[in-house]
Amino acid sequence: MLHARALPGNRYDGHSLGTIIEATETLTGCAVERAYVDKGYRGRNTDRPRRVFISGQKRGVFGVIERELRRRSAIEPIIGHMKSDGHLGRCHPKGRESDASNVILTAVGHNLRRVIAWLRDLLTSILIILWQAGVRSQALKPPS
């Protein structure tokens, strides 16, 4: 998860697109060329990306852009899991600060789970390589 933010009240998503793109560019150091968003960002107020593609859009969508727009639908379940696993439907501590901290901690927890899964895969690969090297060395030893 690269960017997570709580929007207090009932804010329109499109108003946050400009600040999110700026924060993402600052964090990554790369310019955002294309943004793929849901229908909540219709009427956005940013000119930063070359193009903003909205889900369900038909005009100007072909080739690489069509594949990347389909990839966006693979992200939605991750957000749904973060909402359910991070208990973002109901924040028991009251106040805007607690809502914001709950969102940030949920994103941090998601990232930590991904890092732990990556480390587990790396350790598994290392152990398999060591085991195979041990089996080969045993096979090459002459019987005593």
Q: Could you report the per-residue pLDDT of 87-130, keeping only the tens digit for each? A: 676 666 677 777 778 888 888 888 898 999 999 999 999 999 99
What's residue 10's pLDDT?
62
Domain coordinates of the chain in residue numbers? 13-140
pLDDT band at 34 (very low <50, low <70, confident <90, very high): confident
d(CA 39, CA 48): 18
What is the SS3 assignment for 39-77? HHHCCCCCCCCCEEEECCCCCCCCCHHHHHHHHHCCCHH
CA 128 to chain CA centroid, nearest Å: 30
Global pTM reads: 0.64
Query: What pairing do the DSSP bridges indicate for beta strands 34-37 and 51-54?
Result: parallel
Structure tokens at 4: 């997570």
- Which of the residue ranges 23-27, 37-41, 57-61, 65-69 has the most confident prediction, judged by mean pLDDT? 23-27
